Amino acid sequence: MKRLSQLQQTIKSFFMTKNGGKEVLHLSRVAWFCLVILISGMLFTLTRPKKDHRSVRISSTPIIEEKGDSALDHKKAGSSKPRGVASAPVPRGSSTKRNGRRKSKAKLLQFSGPQLIERKKESNFMAQGIRTKGTLLTGIDTRTPTQVQVLLSSGILHHEREILPPGTTLLGAYSYPGTGKEIHLNLSQALLPSGHIQDISAQALDAKRLTLGIRARRHRNTSGKLAAAMGSTMIQAAGDVLTEKEALSQFGEPTAKSTLKNAFTQGVSNIGEMETQRHLNELGHSQEYATLHAGTPIVIELLSIQPRKK
């Protein structure tokens, strides 16, 4: 009892404090004590070993019925008995149950995993992204629409079968975004050396960078037009400067003299102003274009191919 009273006194002195002659509860110590208890409970819950309550069901029922020679072998193995040993009588119920198990149908297993779909005729399908070398037969100028022709330098094989032989000509069209140096080729037909036509889907890659779009030569024609505009502006300014002017009074504005020289210089100045305006308008409406010369080496990436047309 003495130890119990001492323990109570110790706990009371820890949680109680005197304030103005009165005993009040020490809130900070109570809060820290509750926090320590909470953390200890969480650590105990996390570190406690978990018990496995899962159960595994064991069944003696076969999933798939054995058929053919394997079933006969099992029957022979089960019926073989050593000589001189008499067989004990078997109850009817057990034999009926055993026969019923043998005649049971196969049970289907249901899995929630991903399904695998196999192709029956793999030879009819072609892997995408087959690349081969080609040569551009027709030059390209983006200012005029033209048909693109590409000659395959080497054939294309797939599963040891020749899909496109060497010497095949691919036909298609080009696309140009309006600015830049890249021209995109989209090929849709293949003309075989035998004369047959196949529908394909292919695109052209740059031979050096192996990226979509062939690097072409860009033309902007801005330098020539800008120089012409500057020249006509200089002519206009020279005509204004060379015009002789005179003032009719002390406070009047100077005006051009009525001479043949001034008429000539003013005419040249007006023509220069008109030419400057024309060149500036052409410069504002000028469009870039790109060109590719015939014989440019490219890389053809074959995406898909259709059966042959006769």
pTM here is: 0.44
Q: Structure tokens of 42?
A: 């969480």
Q: What pLDDT does residue 123 have? A: 44
- Asked if CATH classification 2.40.128.260 holds for the domain at 125-218+292-309, the reply, yes or no, is yes
Q: Structure tokens of 60?
A: 């003696």
The predicted-structure confidence for 2-22, as pLDDT tens digits, reads as follows 777 877 778 777 777 777 667
The predicted-structure confidence for 81-132, as pLDDT tens digits, reads as follows 444 444 445 455 544 445 555 556 666 666 565 555 555 554 444 545 688 8
- The DSSP letter of residue 67 is -
- The DSSP letter of residue 105 is P
3-state secondary structure of 21: coil
| Residue keyed to tokens 């404090």 | 17
Q: What pLDDT does residue 61 have? A: 54
Residues of the chain with pLDDT under 70: 1, 20-21, 50-129, 221-226, 229, 249-252, 283-286, 307-310
Mean pLDDT, rounded, of the chain: 74
Distance CA 262, CA 256 (A): 7
- As a dihedral over the C-alpha atoms of residue 279, residue 280, residue 283, residue 286, rounded to 10 degrees, the angle is -80
> CA Rg, the chain, in Å?
49
